[in-house]
């Protein structure tokens, strides 16, 4: 059974560029979560979806960040324009229902120069 | 606001030296408490879910326990392969999301 798949694994880009991170959740999972992890702030929830609908985006730091889930098998997190302080590891996770454990992808390590 | 505090931040043990990791939490009605293990360069991997005070779960050398205010992850006779960062997360009864602690980084020396 394939786990959560994220791409790319690494992204290095210059400040001001648009960055798009991609996630394929586990088939049949109703919930999808986007997190950001840094040494300073740990694992922070950015946004989560239930059945493709955004439920809570209170963790999205600024309007530069946006997330979509056009169907049950695909989600994107976009940063436009990117800034050096956006450098972090971004994780996508999915869960079967709201009270089940989350299954994480291996993350995208993002570096903004 | 839900809060999770893990201690210690880092723990170094000799192989075979048992110890415990702590997760203290404040939540408005606990739906579940989750323990995860995270290896370098990987995403967190689920270990246990605890739902009510007094509950215990075990897996190999790990045992998780839960009270109304905290959870412990007991590691018995650890091995070097147990070295990782252990994360605790809580989910409130009125939420679909979890709040994560900062983690405890465990290093087990042979």
Chain B interface, mutation test: which of A6, A47, A54, A101, most B Cβ atoms within 10 Å? A101
Instruction: For B84-103, write each residue's pLDDT tens digit.
Output: 999 999 998 877 889 999 99
Please check whether residue B78 touches A, CB under 8 A: no
**Considering chain A, what percentage of its residues have pLDDT values greater than 70?**
99
**Could you tell me how many residues make up chain A?**
113
Residue pointed to by tokens 């201690």: B7
Compute the count of residue pairs across chains A and B with CB atoms less than 8 Å apart. Answer: 49
Instruction: For A61-93, write each residue's pLDDT tens digit.
Output: 889 999 999 999 999 999 999 999 999 999 999
**Could you tell me how many residues make up chain B?**
110
Which chain A residues contact residue B45 at CB under 8 A? 104
A48 to B96: CB separation less than 8 angstroms, yes or no: yes
Contacts (Cβ under 8 Å, ≥6 apart) of A53: A69
Distance of CA A113 to the CA centre of its chain: 20
Q: Which of B31, B46, B97 has the CB atom closest to A45's CB atom? A: B97
Residue pointed to by tokens 């436009």: A80
- Is the distance from CB of B58 to CB of B70 less than 8 angstroms? no
The token pair that represents B26 in the structure block: 């404040």
Please check whether residue B59 touches A, CB under 8 A: no
B45 to A106: CB separation less than 8 angstroms, yes or no: no
Helices and strands (H, E) in chain A, number of each type: 0, 11
- Is the distance from CB of B46 to CB of A101 less than 8 angstroms? yes
pLDDT value of position A61: 87
Q: Which of B87, B91, B97 has the CB atom closest to A56's CB atom? A: B97
pLDDT value of position B96: 80
Mean pLDDT by 10 residues, chain B (110 residues): 94 98 94 96 96 96 96 98 97 87 97
């Amino acid at each position: 059974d394939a786990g959560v798949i994220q791409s790319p694994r690494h992204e290095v880009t210059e400040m001001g560029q648009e960055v798009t991170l991609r996630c394929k959740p586990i088939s049949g999972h109703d919930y999808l979560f986007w997190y950001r992890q840094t040494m300073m702030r740990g694992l922070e929830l950015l946004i989560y979806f239930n059945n493709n609908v955004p439920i809570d985006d209170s963790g999205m730091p600024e309007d530069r960040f946006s997330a979509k889930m056009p169907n049950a098998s695909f989600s994107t997190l976009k940063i436009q324009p990117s800034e050096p302080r956006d450098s972090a590891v971004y994780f996508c996770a999915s869960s079967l229902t709201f009270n089940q454990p989350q299954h994480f992808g291996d993350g995208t390590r993002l570096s903004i120069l | 606001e839900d809060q999770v505090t893990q201690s210690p931040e880092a723990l170094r043990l000799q192989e075979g030296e048992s110890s415990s990791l702590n997760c203290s939490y404040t939540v408005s009605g606990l739906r579940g408490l989750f323990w995860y293990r995270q290896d370098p360069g990987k995403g967190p991997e689920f270990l246990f879910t605890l739902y009510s005070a007094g509950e215990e779960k075990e897996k190999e050398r790990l045992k998780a326990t839960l009270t109304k205010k905290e959870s412990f992850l007991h590691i018995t006779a650890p091995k070097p392969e147990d070295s990782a960062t252990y994360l605790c997360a809580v989910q409130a009864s009125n939420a679909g999301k979890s709040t994560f602690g900062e983690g405890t980084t465990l290093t087990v020396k042979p």
